[in-house]
Structure 1
Amino acid sequence: MAERLRNQASAYLRQHADNPVDWWPFSEEAFAEARRRNVPVFISVGYAACHWCHVMAHESFEDAATAQYLNEHFVSVKVDREERPDVDAVYMAATQALTGQGGWPMSVFTLPDGRTFYAGTYFPPRQLQGMPSFQQVMEAVSSAWRDRPAEVEASAAQIAAHLASAQAGNRRLIGSLEVTAESGPLSGEVLEAAVEAVLEQEDQRFGGLGGAPKFPPSPLLRFLLVYGSTDRPAAGAAASVADRTLETMARSGLYDQLEGGFARYTVDRAWAIPHFEKMLYDNAQLLRLYAHWSRSAPSEDQRHLALQVSADTAAWLAKRLRVEGGGFASSLDADTLVDGHRREGATYVWTPDELRTVLSDSGADADAVLSLLDLETGRMEAGGSTLHFGRSLQPEEEQLWQRVRPALLAVRDRRPQPDRDDKVVAGWNGLAIAGLADAALALDDAGDPGEKAAGLLDLARDAADYLLRVHYRNGLLARVSHAGTAAGIEGLLEDYAGAAEGLFALFAATGEEQWYRKAEELVLAAEQRFIVDGVLQDTAVRTDQLAAAQGSLSAADPMDGPTPSGTALFAGVLVTYAAYSGSSRHRALAEALLSHVQLVAARAPRAGGWAMSVLVQALEGPRELAVTGSDPRLVRQLLRTGRAAGGPAVVVASGSGGETAVPLLRDRPAPDGGALAYLCRGMVCSRPVADPEELAAQFRTLNS
């Protein structure tokens, strides 16, 4: 029945191709069919790695009787929230307005014009603890549509008006993008209050922020690391929260201690039991954060831990998520298919007896290894446990663990493995490129073998080449691809800005100017595509159904989720581009996009982390480091010094000193056979130096 889904780019949609439900992808044709039949539309939103999405699919969408009722009374639309975040955002807002909560799977009932009149999340096949069954919901919705059309219309109009009001709120939050003489300079005073708010939210017992479920606060951690690298008020407190959170996560069940890579979140406060799905967007950000932390962590053990986590997470990306051609897939499933049944986390959990067998066979002291692990806190209902420590390891304990990891991983690799969602998302791949580039630099600067750093740069180059070759055509960036072919909608603001972020980072790491030129193209294209009549929008092209669902107004949502908002990402690449190009117009546009930080920093710091980090970078100048010359050894020394002294906020460019497309490098000559470093702010530079110690001293002067 669901043949329309069989060749979709989304693995989530393809998973439903054999359902008896007559699914449609989100399209004008689906809503036209609802108008023709005069029936409401049922929109089911989820994603491939979602455990409860699989549960509802098995219970309801694979059930012949349920499917028959859906097919007779509705046009059914299946949406991958990762492929269509524009659709997900609109109907999630409607669901939250109606129920006070949201989540996936999301179940939404709309008029044929796209306006919501009823919504919820997971519905069980039978009434359960006061929750209606899905059959009861379908019957009630169908009855209302047939017998009470005026009430349905009134409900849909009310919800659409509410969502339109939220869009107007986003417009007010971002403010005007018209820069005037009265706009005034940026202020960072609110950032200290943001740090104080974070300190109040920190879990003093288990680390991280808040209680269960516990998520990695990646955009916020970026702010804490960037702010902590400055001499601003509360910088020490910010750095300390980042130190504690990053170390705790690295020792916890959130992190895969055998292979690397982070799960989406843990269901418990103690970081012991993960929800086992692994997302590219989480791991791309965390890879980069641990690379940055390896430079600033206060102890040698922590710096070593940061490098280990960064290197292992990069290796996990290459092993598990890399697709043919060099891009990275979206996720690994939370569930594993074992004997015909989906079991959450089945690949990853161990019983003590399983551990003893493997350890004994490998010649290890099983008791000594088991004493390292907190198996009790990580115990799941079926009796297996996640492998995590819950504490810092002594050097000899760390050595023991590294010796037994390969044997345990080899056994785990022979188990059934979770499915992978192979669709490639442009913005998330941009974040992965940035993470790989920065991890390569961190490893190289720390003196790790050059082959490892070079390998990560090759992975970043391959992913960048894939994006530009597959996703970027005629000045437009596609959001997703599958099997090497772009499909679906144009990229969103987060895709253009995320891809530019990755390409700028790759240029900073390699000095290869083709990455700078393409990043510049994406920034300029985003400016043209997503600023309409002075208003920033998340989408360049909006469907009629979404316009009806939230009114005619449209504005970008500047608040971070697990990924940075498109607004924050765009502001960041504008600051970077202005630093490279000297464009005061783009610098002013970035500052205008950061105005919402004044309102959200202290009230909701976890929703403004990336924008706050960009604000710090802008307040710092940002610092610009141009290194030119033909002596590769000295160029490398100067760049290492600059990265170490400048922190995450420094903008770096390197070149030969000849013809260049990068304005920051122009008119920066170097002596034959030598190299010079130019430390600048706003293209105004200090005296060029060839001595790394002198460069470090210039940074110290700039900081004072």
Structure 2
Amino acid sequence: MPNRLAHEKSLYLRQHADNPVDWYPWGEEAFRVAREQDKPILLSIGYSSCHWCHVMEHECFENPEIAQLQNELFVNIKVDREERPDLDELYMNALQAMTGSGGWPLNIFLTPDGKPFYGGTYFPPEDRGQLPAWPRVLVAVAQAYRQRREEVERAADDLVAYLQQQTRPPLSPTALREQFLDEAARNLVPHYDREHGGFGTAPKFPSPMQLEFLLRTYRRAGAPRALEMVLQTLTAMARGGIHDQIGGGFHRYAVDDAWLVPHFEKMLYDNALLARISTLAYLASGSAICRQVAEETFVYLLREMHGSHGGFFSAQDADTGEGEGAFYLWTPEEIEAVVGPEEATLVCRYFGVTPQGNFEGRSILHVPDDPALVAREFGLSPDELAHRIARARALLYDARSQRPWPARDEKVIVSWNGLAIRAFAEAGAAFDRPDFLATAEHAARFIQDNLWDGRTLFHVWEEGEARFSGFLDDYANLVNGLLSLYEATFDPRWVDWARVLTDLMLERFLDPEAGDFFDTPADGEKLIVRPKTFVDQSTPSGNGSATEALLRLGTLLGERRYIDRAVAILERYAPIAVEHPIACGQLLLAMDFALGNPHEIAIIGDPTLPETRALLRVVYGNYIPNRVLALRHPEDEEAARGIPLLADRTFVDQRPTAYVCRQFVCQRPVTTPRELADQLGVRIPDE
């Protein structure tokens, strides 16, 4: 018989609806029952595409004996972390404070008033190595709660006090200096994997914010090694098993340090961030592989993660009924059956498919050797090899499509859609892809029509319903996406909406004492601690994204109040960000913008005319991280009202004209791409 989760909107919660565990959704009812029955709470947090969440569900939560034990000893609550990132952040911080580590599934035990006192991640049904059996954990925790209540409650109170203190660390503001950026770059280098690229050791996660900081370091300081690190990482990932070699897009992370064996779930945020950093790396270097991977990732998102309504879905699962990653695995015989015996030898060599395999007897496709080497082995030119591999990929994709597909979580999350809107808008401009721009506009319209009521931005849309008041990163990521969309389309409604959202962000999330932002709105649910993040996780930190949004919007509109607020946040966190660049990449990106004396570029001209497009190509076709861009049609007087950068700008010699300013001190207006490129210190694209 289904439990209380059967009627929830969340796919993850519904996946647990047939468990014999008496799950409650998060809410007052569960806490009331816990108080009335004087039981501790088991809070279990996960997400629909999480492999180990599925494993623990199958091994423990579907086990009738274990479920009976849970029901007798605890009030059990299930939470989808993608619906409630505030709860996930709060209780993950608690777990990390208790154990020094974290992950999903997150299983944490609470007092009836919501205070955590013990927790962990995955537990097996029986003792397994260093992992204690889940039933043994349940009994021990319940016994401690009954027999050592005062000790448990005192420990819970101490932990809550610690978590509260962490939201307002005792920091002294420090004036920003360019040397901070140099020091942060030096502090990032020891984390770099010189052999395989990326940062740290296994498990290896994408680090797009850190890679973008290295790109900015290359642009600012002329440091070629910084660019080499970015290109080595992106190339290694593109050739690794973390990259879906057939369908495009990237899996969540690699369990090894060489990017070969992934956890197979695919997340919208990873692919939006990686497509964007690949686009920026192409602009900075001209790398053909970066452009190819970027465009293929965008095509993957369009084909498999974009709804007809315009919004982007959140995730694809790691598992099918045939097991983890089975959808993506191949044997030589399967390859031969699809491409034929003549091509199979080449395709297996190129993608590293062997009889013994590299994952449970089958092969994760990857590119173990330089394609130029493979071309020489087979007596092919690079173009001939590329053509034959492209043809094989198409055949393999069609064949793979006949397999059982991984489940797709079709919730639309505003913060992640904001990342996608920004990526598609910037790539649409960089690659001159009107289809990418149309996709970004479609997603923005969907959010405006379905997750915005004129006063409140909602967090998630599921099955036709907008739910949960938006969190800080919903506002901040959407504002950044809208600003990039304006700079690619020059539709003023996007910058107008960005201004409204930014003012609401300041009104609802600002901490008046510390001067930074909480993750939750002032009128949101009252939790034991109001969470606040300045450290990046798999997505940019809320405070980092908000700071960048304030700087970009303030520079575009000439609004000092936005810029001053952003600088105050950066001055507060500068010492931490500089010392810990691996954790504070997004804050460092904002700091680079603040210290970079951004270019304020105004173009007067009809954007459909070749002369105007030629000026825009100079901006779009180069990596200029610290700039804002506005355009006004010469007959559109309204456009200048909201954007002072466009005021009093006119044609020169009746030709489309560019104005380049810094802090509203302007150089002479120019009318040719060469003059504009010289003022910006860049090349003319395609020269």
What TM-score, normalized to structure 1?
Answer: 0.91
**Deviations 1:398-446 (CA, angstroms, capped at 9, x unpaired):** 23211211011111111111011111111110000001111112211xx
Aligned to 1:27: 27
User: Does structure 2 conserve the Cα–Cα contact (< 8 Å) formed by 1:9 and 1:481?
Assistant: no
* Pairwise CA distance, 1:663: 2.3
* Pairwise CA distance, 1:545: 6.6
Aligned to 1:273: 261
SS at match of 1:627: strand
User: Does structure 2 conserve the Cα–Cα contact (< 8 Å) formed by 1:507 and 1:513?
Assistant: yes
Measure the CA separation in 2 of the matches of 1:669 and 1:165. 54
Residues 1:628 and 2:604 aligned together: yes
Measure the CA separation in 2 of the matches of 1:19 and 1:542. 34
Aligned to 2:271: 283
> What amino acid sits opposite 1:485 in the alignment?
E
Q: How do 1:203-222 residues align onto structure 2 when only pairs under 5 Å count?
A: 203-222=193-212
Measure the CA separation in 2 of the matches of 1:92 and 1:376. 41
1:641 alignment partner, one of 603, 611, 618: 618
User: Does structure 2 conserve the Cα–Cα contact (< 8 Å) formed by 1:227 and 1:613?
Assistant: no
Aligned to 1:450: none
Larger RCO: 1 or 2 (CA < 8 Å, sep 6+): 1
Residues 1:560 and 2:536 aligned together: yes
Measure the CA separation in 2 of the matches of 1:195 and 1:9. 44
**Any stretches of 5+ residues in structure 2 without a counterpart?**
373-381
Task: Please provide the CA RMSD for this pair.
Answer: 2.1
SS at match of 1:515: helix
Measure the CA separation in 1 of the matches of 2:210 and 2:394. 34
Q: How do 1:376-415 residues align onto structure 2 when only pairs under 5 Å count?
A: 379-394=357-372, 395-396=382-383, 397-415=385-403
SS at match of 2:406: coil
Aligned to 2:179: 189
Change (3 A) 1:80 1:377: farther
Measure the CA separation in 2 of the matches of 1:632 and 1:620. 31
User: Does structure 1 conserve the Cα–Cα contact (< 8 Å) formed by 2:5 and 2:14?
Assistant: yes
1:523 alignment partner, one of 463, 482, 502: 502
Residues 1:504 and 2:483 aligned together: yes
* Pairwise CA distance, 1:281: 0.7
2:661 alignment partner, one of 674, 680, 684: 680
Aligned to 1:156: 156
Residues 1:88 and 2:88 aligned together: yes
2:632 alignment partner, one of 647, 652, 655: 655
Measure the CA separation in 1 of the matches of 2:666 and 2:356. 54
SS at match of 2:624: helix
User: Does structure 1 conserve the Cα–Cα contact (< 8 Å) formed by 2:46 and 2:80?
Assistant: yes
* Pairwise CA distance, 1:555: 5.8
Among all aligned residue pairs of Structure 1 and Structure 2, give the percentage whose two residues are the same amino acid. Answer: 39
Residues 1:111 and 2:74 aligned together: no
SS at match of 1:44: strand
Measure the CA separation in 2 of the matches of 1:596 and 1:360. 62
User: Does structure 1 conserve the Cα–Cα contact (< 8 Å) formed by 2:203 and 2:256?
Assistant: yes
Change (3 A) 1:123 1:606: same
Change (3 A) 1:354 1:86: same
* Pairwise CA distance, 1:19: 1.5
SS at match of 1:606: coil
SS at match of 1:486: strand
1:538 alignment partner, one of 496, 519, 524: 519
Measure the CA separation in 2 of the matches of 1:213 and 1:235. 28
Aligned to 2:455: 475
User: Does structure 2 conserve the Cα–Cα contact (< 8 Å) formed by 1:114 and 1:545?
Assistant: no
* Deviating more after overlay: 278-287 vs 675-684: 675-684
Measure the CA separation in 2 of the matches of 1:460 and 1:337. 34
> What amino acid sits opposite 1:204 in the alignment?
R
> What amino acid sits opposite 2:299 in the alignment?
A
**Deviations 1:598-646 (CA, angstroms, capped at 9, x unpaired):** 3234432121212211211222221111111126211111111123345
Measure the CA separation in 2 of the matches of 1:386 and 1:35. 50
Change (3 A) 1:483 1:385: same
User: Does structure 2 conserve the Cα–Cα contact (< 8 Å) formed by 1:110 and 1:116?
Assistant: yes
Measure the CA separation in 2 of the matches of 1:526 and 1:135. 45
* Pairwise CA distance, 1:3: 4.3
Residues 1:260 and 2:248 aligned together: yes
User: Does structure 1 conserve the Cα–Cα contact (< 8 Å) formed by 2:469 and 2:524?
Assistant: no
Aligned to 1:698: 679
Residues 1:335 and 2:314 aligned together: no
Aligned to 2:231: 243
* Pairwise CA distance, 1:237: 2.6
**Deviations 1:283-333 (CA, angstroms, capped at 9, x unpaired):** 111111111112112xx5x2x222211111111111111124111111111
SS at match of 1:229: helix
* Deviating more after overlay: 1-10 vs 212-221: 1-10
* Pairwise CA distance, 1:484: 3.0
1:313 alignment partner, one of 297, 315, 327: 297
Measure the CA separation in 2 of the matches of 1:7 and 1:463. 27
* Pairwise CA distance, 1:701: 9.4
Change (3 A) 1:646 1:659: farther
Aligned to 1:100: 100
Aligned to 1:575: 551
User: Does structure 1 conserve the Cα–Cα contact (< 8 Å) formed by 2:90 and 2:531?
Assistant: no
Change (3 A) 1:465 1:49: same
Measure the CA separation in 2 of the matches of 1:382 and 1:646. 43
Residues 1:13 and 2:13 aligned together: yes
> What amino acid sits opposite 1:615 in the alignment?
M
Q: How do 1:367-446 residues align onto structure 2 when only pairs under 5 Å count?
A: 367-375=345-353, 379-394=357-372, 395-396=382-383, 397-444=385-432
Change (3 A) 1:278 1:621: same
Aligned to 2:378: none
Aligned to 1:77: 77
SS at match of 2:364: coil
Measure the CA separation in 2 of the matches of 1:616 and 1:569. 13
Q: How do 1:607-626 residues align onto structure 2 when only pairs under 5 Å count?
A: 607-626=583-602
Aligned to 1:461: 441
SS at match of 1:204: coil
> What amino acid sits opposite 2:527 in the alignment?
L
Aligned to 2:43: 43
**Deviations 1:645-691 (CA, angstroms, capped at 9, x unpaired):** 45232211222142213222222222696311111112222111111
Change (3 A) 1:260 1:63: same
User: Does structure 2 conserve the Cα–Cα contact (< 8 Å) formed by 1:226 and 1:648?
Assistant: yes
**Deviations 1:486-543 (CA, angstroms, capped at 9, x unpaired):** 01x2111111000111111111111111111111111111011111324321111477
Measure the CA separation in 1 of the matches of 2:562 and 2:165. 29
User: Does structure 1 conserve the Cα–Cα contact (< 8 Å) formed by 2:216 and 2:625?
Assistant: yes
SS at match of 2:527: helix
Measure the CA separation in 2 of the matches of 1:162 and 1:458. 47
List structure 1 segments (4+ residues) > 6 angstroms apart after TM superposition: 542-545
> What amino acid sits opposite 1:333 in the alignment?
D
* Deviating more after overlay: 426-435 vs 36-45: 36-45
**Any stretches of 5+ residues in structure 1 without a counterpart?**
177-182, 445-452
* Pairwise CA distance, 1:473: 1.3
Aligned to 1:590: 566
> What amino acid sits opposite 2:321 in the alignment?
L
Measure the CA separation in 2 of the matches of 1:585 and 1:601. 23
Measure the CA separation in 2 of the matches of 1:37 and 1:701. 69
